[in-house]
Amino acid sequence: MDPLSDVLSLLKPRSTVSRGFSAGGDWAVQFGPYDGIKFNAIVSGQCWFAMDGVAEPVRLEAGDCFLLPKGRPFRLASDLALAPVDAAPIFASAPRGGVALCNGGGDFFLLGSRFTLAGPNAEILLGVLPPIVHLRTEPDRTAMHWSLDRMRQELREGLPGSSLVAEHLAHLMLVQALRLYLTDGAKAGVGWLFALADKQTGAAIDQMHADPAQRWTVQDLARHVGMSRTAFAVKFKQTVGLAPMDYLTRWRMLLAGDRLLNTRDSIAAIAASLGYESESAFGAAFRRVMGCSPRQYGRAAVERV
């Protein structure tokens, strides 16, 4: 798999709910804090978006999508000067997988999904994203527009199996939104996600993810991407925020943590599969990155069940 697929597979995003929201006339709705990551798309109409901790409001129009990865309260409104009403009663009155109405709806329509992320490592994805990822989907973005049209139809018609179809469409739109962000928005910033947008650092990360057990060296990776060792090491650190070998170790430990949580593989087997010749060397690396020993990590997972 590619690095983005690797990370999403590790985090196992699960769509907990997908709904439509339609508003009419003058309106303002306040949304409270939430867990996970929200994906929303404006299908018709326009509105203002304001979030706690973000200085400037954002104007959203039909075709715009936005990811909200920080769980902060936010407001959607036709006019931000209006006193907002609480979103909870509006959405509580709508059927699961249906359309919530404000002022009878009709002038504005939004599709939204919320994803929870499995395990203790949600910050792998959420930590590198800004509070709002605003994406303008141009008319030629056929994949996203097809998904939006299909989701709207599923939520409006409520056909047999619509909940399952909506869940799969929500996952597809999440990946498409992150792809658009990599293509259009991730031109600045530090982190693995931004690095994927860069040809050379992205290629190096791809190599490490493809074979994490390989005894990679900085020289090996630099040669693969056609750079000198020094230039590559400097660029990787500036783009990713970690030195190449530190990134590799961190990725190995995240994979190890996932296997400790989701398989019955022994610690020795996990260590060997990730390129460690001894369980003690693996344990030291795991403790340094994850903050506890592999056994403590696995035991904590059992206690959480």
Single-letter code of the amino acid located at 237: K
The pLDDT of residue 42 = 92
Task: Write down the pTM of the prediction.
Answer: 0.82
Q: What is the DSSP string of 198-222?
A: SHHHHHHHHHHHH-TTS---HHHHH
The pLDDT of residue 137 = 65
The secondary structure element, H or E, covering residue 10 is helix 3-11
* Residue-wise pLDDT tens digits, 10-66: 888 887 777 889 999 999 999 999 988 999 999 899 999 999 888 899 999 998 889
For residues 19 and 219, give the distance between their C-alpha atoms in angstroms, rounded to a whole number: 50
Q: Which two tokens stand for residue 80?
A: 């931000």
The pLDDT of residue 171 = 87
Residue/partner pairs of 239-243 with CB below 8 Å, 24 or more apart: 239/190, 239/194, 239/195, 239/198, 239/201, 240/190, 240/191, 240/192, 240/194, 240/195, 240/201, 240/205, 241/190, 241/191
- Helical segments of 93-161, H only: 123-126, 142-157
The secondary structure element, H or E, covering residue 44 is strand 37-44
Residue segments in the chain with a per-residue pLDDT below the cut of 50: 302-305
For residues 206 and 3, give the distance between their C-alpha atoms in angstroms, rounded to a whole number: 6
In order of their start, the domains of the chain are 3-185 (2.60.120.10), 193-304 (1.10.10.60)
Give the orientation angle of helix 279-290 with respect to helix 244-262, to 10 degrees: 100
Alpha-carbon distance values, 252 to 126, 197, 244, 257 (Å): 19, 22, 12, 9
Taking alpha carbons only, the member of 237, 190, 238, 245 closest to residue 216 is 245
Burial class from Cβ neighbours inside 10 Å (0-12, 13-18, 19+) for residue 142 reads: exposed
The pLDDT of residue 225 = 96
* Residue-wise pLDDT tens digits, 68-91: 998 999 999 999 999 999 999 999
Those residues with Cβ within 8 angstroms of residue 219's Cβ, 6 or more apart along the chain or in another chain: 229
Phi, psi of 114 (to 5 degrees): -120, 135
Single-letter code of the amino acid located at 11: L
Q: Which two tokens stand for residue 64?
A: 């715009």
